[in-house]
Amino acid sequence: MNTTDSQYILDLTQEDYQKATVEVAFLLDAFASTIDNIMGGNTAPVGRIAGRDTASKLPVHLPDPALEDIITLLSEQMHAGFAFTLAGDRLQFKSCIIREMCAIRRIETGGALCHLFHSYFDGIINGLLCRPVKSTIVSVGDECQLQTAVQ
């Protein structure tokens, strides 16, 4: 670790990043599995509450936003780990860091971790749109699709 002008600069190797990715995948799996076990599979309220909390902390103001506006904003905000688009009522995740974490842990895509994440994502949208949002996983795989309903 080097120090310059009171800032810390970490010299990380590719191996360090790989180890960190494996550790984060492990922690996400443990977290989602624990919540799933405690909640009996009904993790949606936990995810939505966390998502609404996140939305309240985002430095954005969208006067009278539409779902499309919010998806565009979130796509820009989350581009480092996700690539998603909205076509009608279908939300398509072309790339997804959660799917990559599932692959590292050999977790089937579409399980507890995916459900918790998508409830969290719905909560963010709900918080920005000020209307209830519910997504249902339609298909999983190299690309995942969700049907998104705004009430």
Q: Given CA atoms 83, 80, 105, 40 in this order, what sign does their dihedral have?
A: negative
Q: How far apart are CA 65 and CA 62, in angstroms?
A: 6
Tell me what pLDDT residue 4 has.
54
The answer to whether 101 and 118 have CB atoms below 8 angstroms apart is no
- The conformation of residue 151, written as its DSSP 8-state character, comes to -
What digits encode the pLDDT tens for the residues 125-144? 999 999 999 999 999 999 99
151 residues of the chain, pLDDT tens digit each? 555 555 777 788 889 888 998 899 889 889 988 998 898 878 899 999 999 999 999 998 888 899 999 999 999 999 999 999 999 999 999 999 999 988 988 888 998 999 999 999 999 999 999 999 999 999 999 999 999 999 8
Taking the domains of the chain in order of start, what are their residue ranges? 2-150
Tell me what pLDDT residue 70 has.
95
What is 2-150's CATH number, 3.30.360.10, 3.40.50.720, 3.30.230.10, 3.30.1380.20? 3.30.1380.20
Tell me what pLDDT residue 108 has.
86
What digits encode the pLDDT tens for the residues 47-69? 999 999 999 999 988 888 999 99
The answer to whether 101 and 113 have CB atoms below 8 angstroms apart is yes
Tell me what pLDDT residue 6 has.
54
The answer to whether 55 and 114 have CB atoms below 8 angstroms apart is no
Tell me what pLDDT residue 7 has.
72
pTM value?
A: 0.86
Q: What is the DSSP string of 58-123?
A: SS---SS--HHHHHHHHHHHTTTTEEEEEETTEEEEEEEHHHHHHHHHTPPTTSHHHHHHHHHHHH
Instruction: State how far the alpha carbon of 34 is from the alpha carbons of 42, 43, 145, in Å.
Output: 12, 10, 25
Tell me what pLDDT residue 5 has.
53
Element (H, E) at 34: helix 14-39
